[in-house]
Amino acid sequence: MDLFPLWNSLRVAGISTVIIFFVGIFAAYYIAKAPRLVKGVLDVFLTLPLVLPPTVVGYLLLRVLGPKRILGAWFLENFGMRLTMTWWSAIFATTVVIFPLMYRTARGAFESFDETLAYSAKSVGLSNTYIFWRIRMPYCRQGILAGTVLAFARALGEYGATSMVCGYTPGRTATISTTVYQLWRTNDDGLAFKWVLVNLAISFVVLLAVNLLEKRAGRKA
């Protein structure tokens, strides 16, 4: 049993989750404070990947990243680098697909924050940076944690956009999801079921860890 799909899925999901953790928090924090009209427009735009079919997201990415498209052609011409059909191409797809999960949960957490805590901290001379990382983030940690875990689990199982942007090449671009599909397509149900069990096991462990962390945080509170 070739373990490359497992390794590739974990690194793609891990890198994508790290990216959207910071980008999602940044977007959620500033958009939560934006005027209602601006917030509504940005919400619609940033949440679209959550409601669009993954294959549509993949198609739109190909329209931008393909070797004959705007960004893809520029990278290929200037750096000799293809933005599609490589293992790291999947990072583009998973990042776009999972971003709304992180953004929406983080924004909800920030909107529930009691701003009187921030005002009190400012009154004693604490900086905005200190307030954000030492007061606001700990206060909102449950929402942030939930968004991070949901995003990782979603990235781990992403198929539609990933298959369109990076394809399926054994030992190069294969992920658990694309491997399951290819094995099913070639009637190798036994090996496909093994990979399904691997994915289920990882998802179960991740969600169990989150529940334990939440209970621990609740006891400390």
pLDDT (tens place) for every residue of the chain, 221 residues total? 788 999 999 999 999 999 999 999 999 988 888 888 888 889 889 999 988 999 999 999 999 998 888 898 999 888 888 889 999 999 999 999 999 999 988 888 888 888 888 888 888 888 888 888 888 888 888 888 888 888 898 898 899 999 999 989 998 999 999 999 999 999 998 999 999 999 889 888 877 877 776 666 555 55
- Report residue 200 as tokens: 């289920």
d(CA 122, CA 120): 5
d(CA 111, CA 173): 39
CB 90 within 8 Å of CB 125? no
**Terminal Cα distance for the chain, rounded:** 45
- Report residue 37 as tokens: 């009209």
Query: Environment class of residue 133 by beta-carbon count within 10 Å: exposed (0-12), middle (13-18) or buried (19+)?
Result: exposed
DSSP letter, residue 158: -
pTM of the model: 0.87
Contacts of 104 (CB under 8 A, 6+ apart): 28, 47, 50, 147
